[in-house]
Amino acid sequence: MPGRQLIMSFPVTATSHALPEYRARGGYGALAKTLGQLKPQDVVKEVTASGLQGRGGAAFAVGRKWQVVQYDDGQPHYLIANADEGEPGTFKDRWILENNPHVLLESMLIASYALNVRNCFVYIRGEFDLPYRRLADAVEEAYAAGLFGRNVLGSGFSCDIVVYRGAGAYVAGEASGLISSLEGKKGYPRNRPPRLTVKGLYQRPTVVNNVESLSNIAWIINNGADAFKAVGTPKSPGTRLFSVSGHINRPGVYEVELGYPWMKFLDEDCGGVPQGRAIKCVVPGGVSSKVLTGADITNLKLSHEDLWDAGSTLGSGGMIVIAEGTCMVALLQVLMRFYHHESCGQCTPCRHGTGWLHRILDRIVAGDGRADDIERLYYISKFNDGTTICGLGDAAGYACSGILDKFRDEFEYCIEHKRSKFGGNLECLRSS
């Protein structure tokens, strides 16, 4: 794995997920340090000073989110780990849950102490089987060892945890939709304000953090904010887990120091593209992020600032490599089918807009494209942006307009010739 100093890496074995091996790696030392030496506000200050950014997509500063919660406001507070990893191309949180669930649990205990949380939750994707079983086993081990429950490690601090399985809705990965589902309602996102840190779960102050975001907390407490900032770049400190898939010789989960050269990562660490084909484009951070061409990424580094300047984002870390020769019309059709299927239907622009995008792409692929279809796709994408409660409609529009911006010629060819620019009937691509 690339990088100078890695945070999440360790030798993966058949039992690396179990408590004895985690403790052998120094596990729960950060919790003992926290409960024995630090005040809650000290933990919040250290996390804030580290510059840790959320690893779930938005890259919002974790410490800033925590600072909003007033420690002694007389209300119950809640902490939720968002393990509903449904973004296509993203599977790094799954890796943590399968191979190192105790780092999440320890970090959640530290966060709960800092935020005056008595009851915390893990909302895990319903389709996750092995990750759920590994996490459930880890929770049992932690309770048996006195790490959860009353008077944790004799400190007077008490905390319980609930692992809640979702029902497989992509939109429930959005924080407010997740809370609605956790409360037993439909997984509909909520209008904001008020922010979830003011009125979240059961209308009480609630912090929702991604699994990878939380899993950095134990390391930061053990090693300090300065050590965390020594890795990465000034604007993008630390390391990130990237899920690499698509046309790549060595797919998998990689821990990368932020600021690492992108092409070096793909060519050397991931083994390059099969058969020596050129990179056509890359989806940087899950399909909600705009694609960048092979030429776009040649001199880019894997940092938030580089991706923002290039017009995209690191997002959820789901990196999909697409080789030359791939039909982008067929690819966009698959993406729009996904967004249409996963729209919860609460907001009219998303409910109808994703359906229109999907049906237009279906028509183009079927050989019935019309001269104005490209402008119509742009029009719908634009009016999905900022008109819905959550970001699903926006993301569908970004994915659509992003691919059209880079590969408009392929769509024009398909509409004019009723076939893919790369040979073959588009109906074959549609059914494959």
pLDDT of residue 58: 84
Describe the chain by its helix, strand, coil percentages, rounded to 5: 45, 15, 40
Give residue-wise pLDDT tens across range 119-156.
999 999 999 999 999 999 999 999 999 999 999 999 99
pLDDT of residue 426: 47
Domains by residue range for the chain, with CATH: 19-229 (3.40.50.11540), 239-323 (3.10.20.600), 328-431 (1.20.1440.230)
pTM for this predicted structure: 0.94
Q: Which helix (H) or strand (E) holds 357?
A: helix 348-365
pLDDT over 80 (residue 179): yes
Average pLDDT for residues 102-120, to the nearest whole number?
98
pLDDT of residue 422: 87
SS3 163: strand
Give residue-wise pLDDT tens across range 214-256.
999 999 999 999 999 999 999 999 999 999 999 999 999 999 9
Give residue-wise pLDDT tens across range 328-364.
999 999 999 999 999 999 999 999 999 999 999 999 9
Report the C-alpha gap between 209 and 207 in whole angstroms: 6
Average pLDDT for residues 319-325, to the nearest whole number?
97
Give residue-wise pLDDT tens across range 10-21.
889 999 999 999
pLDDT of residue 5: 61
pLDDT of residue 7: 85
pLDDT over 50 (residue 276): yes
pLDDT over 70 (residue 424): no
Average pLDDT for residues 29-34, to the nearest whole number?
98
Class of residue 16 by CB neighbours under 10 A (exposed 0-12, middle 13-18, buried 19+):
middle
Helices and strands per DSSP (H, E), number in the chain? 19, 11
Of 216, 285, 244, 218, the C-alpha closest to 62 is 216
Report the C-alpha gap between 286 and 376 in whole angstroms: 24
